[in-house]
Amino acid sequence: MSTDAAETGRVDRTDPAPRSAGFRLVLLVVLVVLLLGSAGVLVWLLADRRGEADDLQTQREAVMSQTEQFVLRLNTYGPDDLDDQGHLTGYQQRVDEVITPKFASDFESTGLPIAEQTVKQAGYGRTAEVFGVGVQSIDSDSAVAIVAGGLTGSYPDRRHPDDASKRVAGQEDVLRWEVDLVKTGGAWLVDDYAPVTGAGQ
């Protein structure tokens, strides 16, 4: 009996050690797997957020670029743009490329005829310079931009009536506009604009 007890005691003393080592190995493997999984999730989340930030910056740059193009195209015209029928056809096409169809309808019924009349009757011309553009707000399909620029009008120099290249420029007008854009077919187009005046400046 005592021999058996001694042998049993020997087994009891040595048996927990292998079980403990095996448990520790399994626990280590589980912890490593969890750690790697957590690291993978963290990398994915960071990449996803960075991708969203990059996409937002790309959209902001597209809005600013289109706003700048709108201001330059809308405010750059003159006698050289008149076609054989006395219309600013090329000017109209350039503006239409950066505005929505709804805005194009308004432009063609109001702004365009006024521009054509002043060019034909007085030889008026205008050039524009953009000083800066900023995005005030933006979401997935609409944006508001603020743009500052200078507009300079010019007329034929009456001292040189036979030389159309001789022109007299007026003083530059500095303006700030709030420009509304919508995303249509994957492209940002100007839908409306208004001057920023008074307290808005």
CATH of the domain at 191: 3.10.450.230
In a domain, 168, yes or no: yes
Q: What is the pTM of this model?
A: 0.71
In a domain, 51, yes or no: no
Q: Which residues have a Cβ under 8 Å from the Cβ of 128 and sit 6 or more positions away?
A: 71, 72, 74, 75, 76, 149, 150, 151, 152
pLDDT tens for the chain, residues 1 to 201 = 545 544 444 545 555 555 677 777 777 777 877 787 777 777 777 666 666 667 889 999 999 999 999 999 999 999 999 999 999 999 999 999 999 999 999 999 999 999 999 999 999 999 999 999 999 999 989 999 999 999 999 999 888 777 777 889 999 999 999 999 999 989 999 999 999 965 434
In a domain, 31, yes or no: no
In a domain, 55, yes or no: no
pLDDT at 200: 39
In a domain, 4, yes or no: no
**Beta bridge partners of residue 89, listed in sequence order:** none
Written as one string, the DSSP assignment of 39-104 is: HHHHHHHHHHHHHHHHHHHHHHHHHHHHHHHHHHHHT-B-GGG--TTS--HHHHHHHHTTB-HHHH
pLDDT at 48: 63
Decide: helix, strand or coil at residue 199: helix
Range of the domain at 83: 62-200
In a domain, 134, yes or no: yes
What the block records as the tokens of 148 is 């500052």
pLDDT at 199: 43
Beta carbons of 167 and 156 less than 8 angstroms apart: yes
CA dihedral 158, 159, 165, 171 (to 10 degrees): -70
Helices 2-14 and 16-74: crossing angle, nearest 10°? 10
pLDDT at 11: 47
Decide: helix, strand or coil at residue 166: coil
In a domain, 166, yes or no: yes
Q: Structural domain tally of the chain?
A: 1
